[in-house]
Structure 1
């Protein structure tokens, strides 16, 4: 799944502390998208954000802690789920939101960098896992409502259905240079709905 989020670092109410955090996270996102975790330097982030180095080092301490806060901020700012009244409509909205995020030059590069970093850094991996758990939690009620409407079998694993929508979009992002277009998003949603209706995501009896 994806973030499907607004740009990290958008200023929110909360005074100077919130503005400093927003500026630092925006700068960190830019730096991460450009050079990956290996080139994420706290002093450079402070320069970009136009804040004191001491502030950045005191609050975040390390690049991995900064990435963790960036992901938390992105999860906080992610757009709410769309409820259309049908499972296909809801999952198509989810897939298109993921696609827009991953197809965005800055956001797509940022997610590639975070995913790459997560393969070799446990703290980044944990932060990335938390981000996606939040996003799956936000969208799984759409699938639960489909179960309650009788669109899907009882016992459907609602979280796995949500994950299945995003999976082919991330695979395409990471393994192909083909455009990540809206048609790909719609196919992902339609394939997931077909599989869910067929019982593919029904939990096995204990």
Structure 2
């Protein structure tokens, strides 16, 4: 079975083309939203041929899927501070800074809005978060091994619990989360994990 257009990294001589197209797509999403994303406009902004964009990504949703895959690959690696709480604080701080960034925050809001009504975009967004949660889950697993958290703690659930209130606050209030919100989110997730809330075994 062939891969869905836009979900596989184009190879060969065109790495620069991919980077330019994804950058242009991100700019349009951040500036105008998903419903204004147009492959011909992206090609113009990236200064590449329309045929190239249509051939490689095939559709707007294919382009967004590749953009999210690239964002997951380029996201900052996890920080390991030596304690679960320190690691969760680092994770919360990264999420907060991303959502507070004028371009990245607007881009995520546009993609989340699109995912609510487009299943392919929703699937691409889920894959993005699967990658990011998997990147940070070892911090929790190491905390379990050190005895900071109870055995059987669901590491991925703890990581999701850190970022969930930050996204929820952004989407329901329109307010960008600040550093204090990130600190509360990390402490709340850590307290719940330490109390055994996320034990599944």
Could you say which TM-score interval applies, normalised by the shorter chain? Answer: over 0.9
Aligned to 1:120: 117
Q: Distance in 2 between matches of 1:121 and 1:63?
A: 11
Q: CA 1:67/1:179 → structure 2, altered by over 3 Å: closer, same or farther?
A: closer
Q: Distance in 1 between matches of 2:132 and 2:156?
A: 10
Deviations 1:44-101 (A, max 9, x none): 0000001111110110110000000000000111111000000010000000000000
Q: How does 1:167-206 map to 2 (within 5 A)?
A: 167-203=164-200, 205=201
Q: How does 1:110-189 map to 2 (within 5 A)?
A: 110-189=107-186
TM-score normalized by the length of structure 2: 0.92
CA contact (8 A) 2:115 2:121 kept: yes
Q: How does 1:1-206 map to 2 (within 5 A)?
A: 16-203=13-200, 205=201
Q: Distance in 2 between matches of 1:120 and 1:74?
A: 21
TM-score normalized by the length of structure 1: 0.90
After TM superposition, what 4+ stretches of structure 1 lie above 4 angstroms from structure 2? none
Aligned to 2:7: none
Unaligned 5+ runs, structure 1: 1-13
Deviation at 1:176, TM superposition (A): 1.5
Deviation at 1:37, TM superposition (A): 1.7
Q: Distance in 1 between matches of 2:130 and 2:174?
A: 27
Q: Distance in 2 between matches of 1:188 and 1:48?
A: 38
The root-mean-square deviation of aligned C-alpha atoms, in Å, is 1.2
Q: Distance in 1 between matches of 2:35 and 2:175?
A: 27
**Relative contact order, CA 8 A, sep 6+: which one is greater?**
1
The count of corresponding residues between Structure 1 and Structure 2 is 191
Deviation at 1:177, TM superposition (A): 3.5
Unaligned 5+ runs, structure 2: 1-10
Deviation at 1:15, TM superposition (A): 7.0
Deviation at 1:16, TM superposition (A): 4.2
Aligned to 1:3: none
CA contact (8 A) 2:87 2:139 kept: yes
